[in-house]
Amino acid sequence: MKGNPNPKANHHILILTYGVVLLFVGLAAYFSYFLLVKSDSVINNSYNARLDSFADRVVRGEIYSNDGRVIARTEVDGEGKETRVYPYDSLFAHAVGYSTNGKTGLEALANFYLLTSHVNLVEQVVNELSGQKNQGDSVVSTLDVDLQKTAYDALGKRKGAVVVMEPDTGKILAMVSKPDYNPNTLAEDWSHLVAEENTSGQLLNRATQGLYPPGSTFKIVTALEYIRENPSNYKDYTFDCKGIYHNGDYTIRCYHETVHGHQNLEQAFANSCNGAFSNLGLLLDLNGLKNTADQLLFNTDLALPFASSKSSYTMGAGADTWQILQTSIGQGQTQITPIHNAMLAAAIANGGTLMKPYLIDRVENAGGDVIKKFMPQSYMSLMTAVEASELTEFMGDVVTEGTGSALRTDAYTVAGKTGSAEFETGKETHAWFVGFAPAEHPRVVISVIAEEAGSGGQAAAPIARALFDLYFSK
């Protein structure tokens, strides 16, 4: 044999061996990280058929309201037949969802927890030996029965949606969508609900999936962009409102052609003066407005833990005058979901920082021990604290001076914005209200849309009023 051309061969083998070992340490660490941290969110996926097989060994757990009232439970009869029961019938239809014909809402979101049992070991063994299933973990939601019921009743027979949430945590306290369905009889009603001739869309959760023209609630975005472009002199903007604003061949009307007269930015916002905002829109940098809208999560998948639609804002540079006039007041092509509108108001209420909306507060085993607790998480910062406080002031004026008079009370102060969104000529407008209270130190945010109900101030604001009244009477 010849001499070794590489006298340090063993040393080099050692180095490469170390390299490989390091690679495997990385692989093992990644694998462990996946199992420890990531797997929970990964496996709770409707494509993961494995979860369904859990039901063979576990009785689906219960879902509670934030004060511990049962809003979904599974009853097992003598023969072991399981029935999912929703004591409040349709009250929580979209928020809690259903688990018979597929899964939606909390039933989908919490599926993994509900089908996982953490009952104690002795009980597990006893159940096993006696051939019984283990009781699945319960999920305590952030939903408040009273707020939900008030929102549900206040919306009445109208189509629409209500979202109530805490701006500083992101907890969703109420989420109502109408028309609805009764989850207790879903299986029987299914064929009717999905029938082609049924155009009511009962199964659609309008709160998160309904796309509406934002109407005047979009003036929040327009105003924010104007403030950003004119930080030192936005207060100098003035407009003389004659009820109808003419620009070339185009006309923009204020609601019921109300003549607002001389308006500065704050007054125009409070009175929801369409003329003033259309005119202001023509002064804006359209790319800037598009950027602001994008930053405020238009055209963005909200990445919520439940099904949601993307709000859309399409106007860019090169738009014609009519488009600009329309878009500045929330008409035109722009569309928004009620939850997105609630999130925008929540960010303003929380000093510019949006908290991630969530529905599950904690997971408990059948004995009531906490298995997992969910903490508020920051979603992202949507604007500066200064901008947020300026918008809060504007929104305060809406209530004290302008269209939000239905929310004037000594009990608390509300900051909000009404909207009356036109969607089809000859039909009543959709009524919007988004806002929060107390304005000085916001604790609760509300977003209301009532379809074809008239003006935001007259149809949507009273619904918010009922909710604020209840919230602050507690």
Partner 1 sequence: MINLIIDISRYLMILLIALYTYLNFRFFSFSDEIRKRKICRRQNFSMFLIHLLAYLIIWLETEDEKMLVFYVAQVIFFFSYLFLYRLIYRNVSRLLVNNMCMLLTIGFIMLTRLSFDRAMKQFVIVAAAALVTFAIPFVIDRVWQLSKIPWIYGIGGILLLGIVCLAGTSSYGAQLSLEFGGYSFQPTEFVKIIYVFFIATMFYRSTSMKTVLIVTSVAALHVLILVASKDLGSALIFFVTYIFMLFVATGKWLYLLAGAGGGTLASMLAYQLFGHVRTRVSAWLNPWADIAGKGYQITQSLFAIGTGGWFGMGLYRGMPRRIPVVEKDFIFSAISEELGGIFALCVLLICLGCFLQFMMIASRMQAVFYKLIAFGLGTIYIIQVFLTVGGVTKFIPSTGVTLPLVSYGGSSILSTFIIFGIIQGLYILKRNEEEEEKYEG
Quote the CA–CA distance of 88 and 68 in Å, as a whole number.
14
Which residues lie across from 137 on neighbouring strands?
none
Strands 370-373 and 360-364 come out as antiparallel
DSSP-derived secondary structure for 51-117: HHHHTTTEE---EE-TTS-EEEEEEE-TT--EEEE-TTGGGGHHHH--SSSS--HHHHHTHHHHT--
- Selection from 326, 313, 292 nearest residue 423 by Cα: 326
Closest separation in Å from C-beta 362 to partner 1: 20
H or E segment at 160?
A: strand 160-165
Q: Which is nearer to partner 1, 119 or 296 (CB)?
A: 119
Of the two residues 46 and 377, which places its CB atom closer to partner 1 in the complex?
46
Report the residue number, 39 or 389, with the smaller CB distance to partner 1: 39
Shortest approach of partner 1 to residue 374 CB, angstroms? 19
CB of 46 to partner 1, least distance (A): 9
C-beta of residue 427 within 8 angstroms of C-beta of residue 405: no
Q: How far is the CB of 129 from partner 1 (least distance, A)?
A: 7
Which tokens go with 73?
Answer: 């439970």
Q: How far is CA 415 from the centre of its chain?
A: 19
- Show the tokens assigned to 91: 């009250």
Find out whether 164 and 172 touch, Cβ atoms under 8 Å. Answer: yes
Q: How far is the CB of 41 from partner 1 (least distance, A)?
A: 9
**Is 369 within 8 Å of 118 (Cβ atoms)?**
yes
Write down the least CB distance from residue 295 to partner 1, Å.
23
90 and 153 Cβ atoms separated by less than 8 Å: no
Q: Contact 226/285 with Cβ under 8 angstroms? A: no
Q: How far apart are CA 188 and CA 34, in angstroms?
A: 41
Kindly state the smallest distance separating residue 3's Cβ from partner 1, in Å. 8
Q: How far is the CB of 305 from partner 1 (least distance, A)?
A: 14
CB of 301 to partner 1, least distance (A): 11
| Least Å from the CB of residue 377 to partner 1 | 20
Residue 441: other Cβ atoms inside 10 A? 9
CA distances to 152, 161, 210, 450 from 157, in Å = 9, 11, 17, 10
CA separation for the pair 191, 198 (Å, rounded): 10
Q: Which residues bind partner 1 (CB under 8 A)?
A: 1-2, 4-10, 12-14, 16-17, 20-21, 23-24, 26-28, 30-32, 34-35, 38-40, 42-43, 45, 47-51, 53, 57, 125, 128-129
Q: What is the largest CA-CA distance in the chain?
A: 105
Q: Where is 13: in which H helix or E strand?
A: helix 9-33
Q: Rounded CA gap, 140 and 190, in Å? A: 28
Taking the least distance from each CB to partner 1, the nearer of 39 and 377 is 39
| Minimum distance, C-beta of residue 1 to partner 1, in the bound complex (Å) | 5
In the complex, least distance from residue 133 CB atom to partner 1, rounded to whole angstroms: 11
Give me the residues paired with residue 163 across strands: 175, 447
Which one, 112 or 394, has the nearer CB to partner 1? 112
Comparing CB distances to partner 1, the nearer of 129 and 195 is: 129
Q: Nearer to partner 1 by C-beta: 56 or 249? A: 56
Cβ-contact 449, 161 below 8 angstroms:
yes
Nearer to partner 1, 12 or 408 (CB): 12
Rank residues 24 and 440 by Cβ distance to partner 1 and give the closer one. Answer: 24
Please say which residue, 38 or 235, places its beta carbon nearer to partner 1.
Answer: 38
Pick 216 or 309: Cβ nearer partner 1: 309
Q: Which residues of 378-396 are buried (b: 16+ CB within 10 A; e: fewer)?
A: ebeebbeeebbebbbebbb
Alpha-carbon distance of 378 to 347, in angstroms, equals 10
Q: What are the tokens at 328?
A: 């500045």
User: Tell me, what amino acid is at 157?
Assistant: K
Is the Cβ of residue 9 or residue 386 nearer to partner 1 in the bound state?
9
